Each structure stands twice: as structure tokens, then as C-alpha cells.
A = this chain, B = another copy of it.
């Protein structure tokens, strides 16, 4: 249930109320929108708890039930879209979040070259994998901490926010020391132990949809993170598995308006993994933005044919530049009111 609090409620009173809930074994989290504070009571509810009793409390204006199995990720607790401020940008705000960079971090030189190129074209976030979840144990598994150092340095030099994947609870602190956004990969979307642990991190977390996870599965996984106290969750559509295998995955762009309807969390689209074909990345990035995505994640490599992973789907820097020009032309046309 959600307790909508009186606008007159004093912080001290709210604290007292929360202590009382705590004493009743009810876990509540406070949120505020447009000056209206509310307490979402997500767990500890059972048949003994009488909802009417809460409605009668002096601070409480209204008691609302949750309408979805995910609670903190739903619109029940927050009608308006969430903006996540990270350094000088805001994910979920008016400006598009453009995450670009190589699949794997390969060397300081490579990273520096690509960072300069994507920054110049208009990206605001630098991506690069240091720990790579590879289907084969014999494939390149990433440079590890050394890769993170390279990424952090390139981010600093080129004034780009950074994002990198964390595959394991043991890596959270390490990755968090170097990058601005922690990424949970599609294969770990339902690794609940990992989700709980990033839920206790201070860093924003971007969670990729598993390749056969429903929208609800994705929101339930986001809920695991939110429930641990981390409010900064970004959702990422990256394609689902279907019978069609001309493309690597089938990019489900409808995820953008659907997730925006079900949740207040920002939605990013990754057309690189979503199609697996370089030529398809630009049209699908454009389509994602036209459907209202809060940003895109795109693989860019200065020498895709030499890339240690995913070269076939990486854009050449010139292609990325053209994409950015095209997206800037589209920006004024993306009317959030009709989306």
C-alpha cells in the first residue's frame, strides 16, 4: 500500500511514522513528487494489518493499494518520469543519453581514439566492457581492472560519463570505483543475488532485458534493486530471441512506450546487440528515438574488423557521426506529449 501524506506533515512527524511502521515490521520507503510526500509500504504486509487503521492516522491523507506485482518500479509510487542526474547530465530528461564506445576495452590507445570521436559527434556517455560475459570460456574475457582504469581515464580526458558491466557481486566495489553507471547484462538479469547487491550500491544501475524476459520480468528485476534502496535504475531493451535469425535478436521497440506506460524508470535501447548487423544500427537507433526512448547504447569501434568482440555490429566513427546528425534533426520532432 501507499500512504499519501498530508502536505502539512513535518519531517519529524514523518520520521516518527516510519519508526512506528518499522516497529510493526513494515518496510516503507519515502518519496516525493511535486511536493507531495508518500510512503510506499512494500513488504511485511499480511492479513493482520488492517488498511483502514492507516487511513485513520493523522498524517495520512489517503491509502492506495499497489496495482502491479512490481511496486517501487510502478507508476503507483510515482506518476511522472524519473530523471537520474549523473554529473552534468540527466538520464530520463530532455536531452538524449547517448552511450557509445567499443564492445570490449582493448587498449588505452583504442579507447582514447574512440572516446575522442564519439565525444566530438555528440555522445555523452562512454561505454566499454572490462569483464565480458562470453558464451565460450575460450573467448577473450576482458582486461579486468586494467580495462576499468583505461575507461575511467578516457572518460575523464574527454569529459564523458562512463558505464561498464559488472558480472559478479565481488566486482561491484571495484567497478564502482572506476565508472559512473553499473551495467547488469542480459544474461544476469535474473541473477537475483547480484541484483540485491547492486541495490545496495550508491551508483545508478542500468539493467538489460534478458533475451527472453517479459516486460514484467524486467520490472520485477528492477524491483529487486529498488527494494534494496537504490532508486536509480535505468531499463535497457536489447532485443529478444525469436525464430528469426537473420538478425542476432529481434529488437522490441514497443518496449519503449510499454515500459514508459508501466513504470517511471528511464528506457534506453541498444540497437547494436538488438540487431547484430552494422547496417541496421542507424535505422533502429532512429526508430528507438522516434518511439520515445530516453537514450541509446551503440557500439562504435575505430577498426571494427580488428575488434576482439562484436566487430560485425560496431559502427565506424563516421557512421556514428551521421547517426548523431540525424538524431539532432529529429530531436525537435520528438514530441513527448503524443508519445
Contact = CB atoms under 8 A, between A and B. Distances in A.
Interface size, A (range): 35 or more
Contact of A280 (B254, B275, B284): B254
A270 to B, nearest CB: 13
Interface stretch (A55-63, A78-86, A287-295, A298-306): A287-295
Interface stretch (A94-102, A120-128, A144-152, A162-170): A162-170
Interface in A318-336: 322-323, 326, 329-330, 332-333, 335
A172 to B, nearest CB: 12
Given A191-B188, A289-B290, A290-B283, A258 B250 contact: no
A150 to B, nearest CB: 22
A256 B282 CA distance: 12
Q: Quick one: copies of this chain in the complex? A: 4
A332 B137 CA distance: 40
Contacts of A194: 191
Nearest to A252: B250
Contacts of A200: none
A54 interface: no
12 contacts: A69-B136, A71-B138, A168-B193, A187-B190, A187-B191, A191-B194, A211-B212, A214-B245, A215-B246, A241-B243, A256-B283, A329-B332
Interface string A177-210: 0000000000110111110100000000000000
A169 B169 contact: yes
A252 B253 CA distance: 8
A238 interface: no
